[in-house]
Structure 1
Amino acid sequence: MVGVLTQTLSVNDGPLTSENAALLRPSELSLPLEELRKRYDEDGYLFVKGLIPREDVLEARRKYFEMVAPTGVLEEGSDPVEGIFNSKKSIDEYPGIGAGHVGGNGRPGGEKAAQFVDLAIEAHYKDWYAEKFSNHPDLYNFIAKLTGWNENTLTFRRSLLRNNIPGSKPIGVHYDQIFLRHGEPTSVTAWVPIGDIKLNGGGLIYMEGGDAVGQEYEEGFFAKAKEAGMSDEEAKYAFNSNMMSTGLLSEYPAQFAKEHGRRWLASAYEAGDVVLHKPHAIHASTINNDPDNVIRLATDLRFCDSSREYDKFFPLIPPSAEMDELL
């Protein structure tokens, strides 16, 4: 059962209220493994509370904000781990990575934002993130057991460490298989909040029953391509002509959910929480309206079964290459 949303949230095209949104179903680590698998299969996601030790998450958050602090992004005199945005600065100087801020090949924000964007990209290479956090044993071991992949569990090297300044543009509607075209749709994405995120702090939202909707999109695109006489390889990419240039299904979550007769599911998140989701699970994010001006920080980590056909192209691309594609 999902909980009732008691607070109005914002997306690009209007409010999310109890009429068109609800709360994600949380799952405790103490639940039997079979129950956790059942929830993941039924919901298309699994919202696991306290999977990673809180202190490890906050250490990564501190390292990140200490790294970008020279750009003036943080409130003067504040502790970097709090990630409080500088109230004297313009959000245009601190664009997020991969959050739909720009199009084309140029880096977002122009010259003023160059240092911030470059540091945000460089963070992907730092040992505290690339080695220690992205490969956290608690996360890896949980996914290995949940999926039954065990020693065949492979962590993709390519990941996306996102910041979201209060008031900036949120992530549009999409599903991950859009970006994974060289393997089976069996990967697992771990969305990891790096710090606490209030309910109105710009966290990820999932479409209720969105995994089935995503699969319908895939099947529809593939069928149309085959009808047009495309080969299997060409048909695999049929989605390209149906997506926006950014790979999104839509920039308007409220309208998108209404068209499909679905609700969005939202939550507040605590450092240590992780949401696992399937390749076709449709998701987006809300606008970060944190009343304390806290910057939302999170990362997308992906895993696959190395004994099956997986997207070998995807994990072998270093983070900077993905950034260049997104920017």
Structure 2
Amino acid sequence: MAAATQSAPLPAHELVYEPDSLPKLRSNHGQYLDNSSVGWMKETAIETPMDEMRRRFENDGYLYVKNVMPREDVFDVRQSYFEHLAPTGILKPGSNPRDGIFDDAQDPVVHNGVGGRDLPESKDRVERLMSAHTHPMYMFLLEHPKLRGFIKEFMGWEKDVLVKRTLLRHNVPNGFSTGIHYDRIFLRDGEAEFLTAWVPIGDCTAQGGGIMYLEDSSSIGKAMEADFMQRAETFTKEERINGFNVNMAKDGQLSHNAHELSEEILNGKFSGGKSRRWLAGNYEAGDVVFHNPYMIHGAVKNEDPLGRIRLGTDLRFYEEGADLDQRWMQSVWRPDDGL
């Protein structure tokens, strides 16, 4: 696409979104998706009336909102994160931590930062991934009044509750990233529904490791979950709420191969014979994507032409007083917490 030939990243409003400019996307494993299987997410301006935003969220399962927070506030968080990780050797020598450029002389596997499985062997690196979740600048992002104010108004809640176990993840170019899933898999304890906010911490083009969504997939996620619960009737409660059970992949994901999963869904019992595209976006610092618990999504393999590390966080919100998953309220993320 046009942005790949630029010497510096273009803002999203200058990028081309025409069908003939669709990006080449793939997941952790498998081949690139063909053009007929890829599309652009719908952008929503922050000035859009709330009723229209709610309508789009209900219809599409996600809401991609531009400029929720000031751009420089988000870049301040990005800079602090990579200053925190700089001693691990993750950054290109002489580069600005605010840019988050990966040192391509390093092995991507060594600098994996996707979560509790397949973490770096270095104890220092793992400790820095853990402590980043309590860094003052990250706390600033979690409590940002623009973000929290938007959620309260959008959901119509008296007060929102952010689960304590947030997920702050980086994804280096050509590294391993988040697989394909729907969020309810990991938050099955508690009856209340929740809202997920995915926040890109910095600019992230469609090929730069951002999130992609399977179009119109909320109904599929719900059907998959109902099917799982039926098969799990003989499970203990602990087995039933565990995302890493015998009916799931070892890391709880539906797949790490978007192309293969698309074929399985199309030819399976949940699709209704409907073909669905994977939707991506050119995210900018300050944007936020909200989605429901059943929307199927995963990370694009980071092939950013400028070598930028994708940094983002997954936040889950409930209404105060709701029957939430208490496992996610015990502590900040730890690699041995079983979640």
For normalisation by structure 2, the TM-score amounts to: 0.86
1:199 aligns with 2:199: no
Counterpart in the other structure of 2:24: 8
Q: 2:58 aligns with which of 30, 33, 41?
A: 41
Counterpart in the other structure of 2:309: 295
Q: 2:261 aligns with which of 250, 256, 262?
A: 256
Larger displacement relative to structure 2 (304-313 or 136-145): 304-313
RMSD between aligned residues:
2.1
Counterpart in the other structure of 2:136: 127
Q: 1:275 aligns with which of 273, 289, 308?
A: 289
Counterpart in the other structure of 1:117: 126
Q: Deviations over 1:150-198 (max 9, x none)?
A: 32x1111110100001001231111111111221251111100000001
Amino acid paired to 1:249: L
SS at match of 1:260: helix
Asked whether the 8 Å contact 1:3–1:24 carries over to 2, the reply is no
Counterpart in the other structure of 1:105: none
Unaligned runs of 5+ in 2: 1-16, 267-275
Larger displacement relative to structure 2 (311-320 or 180-189): 311-320
Query: How far did 1:116 drift?
Result: 2.3
SS at match of 2:249: coil
| Identity %, equivalent residues | 38
Counterpart in the other structure of 2:10: none
Unaligned runs of 5+ in 1: 103-107
* Cα separation, 2, equivalents of 1:238 and 1:154: 22
* Cα separation, 2, equivalents of 1:255 and 1:235: 27
SS at match of 1:19: helix
1:311 aligns with 2:325: yes
* Cα separation, 1, equivalents of 2:32 and 2:228: 30
Query: How far did 1:88 drift?
Result: 2.2
1:140 aligns with 2:145: no
- Trace 1:98-113 onto structure 2 (pairs within 5 A): 98=115, 102=118, 108-110=119-121, 113=122
* Cα separation, 2, equivalents of 1:170 and 1:126: 22
1:78 aligns with 2:98: no
Counterpart in the other structure of 2:232: 225
SS at match of 2:85: helix
Counterpart in the other structure of 2:164: 157
* Cα separation, 2, equivalents of 1:61 and 1:158: 19
* Cα separation, 2, equivalents of 1:201 and 1:310: 33
Q: Deviations over 1:229-252 (max 9, x none)?
A: 568x47954973321121111121
- Trace 1:180-219 onto structure 2 (pairs within 5 A): 180-219=187-226
* Cα separation, 2, equivalents of 1:218 and 1:253: 19
Figure out how many residues of one structure are paired with residues of the other and give that number. Answer: 311
Query: How far did 1:220 drift?
Result: 0.9
Amino acid paired to 1:250: S
Q: 1:96 aligns with which of 107, 113, 117?
A: 113
CA distance 1:326–1:185, change in 2 (3 Å): same
For normalisation by structure 1, the TM-score amounts to: 0.89
* Cα separation, 1, equivalents of 2:65 and 2:261: 27
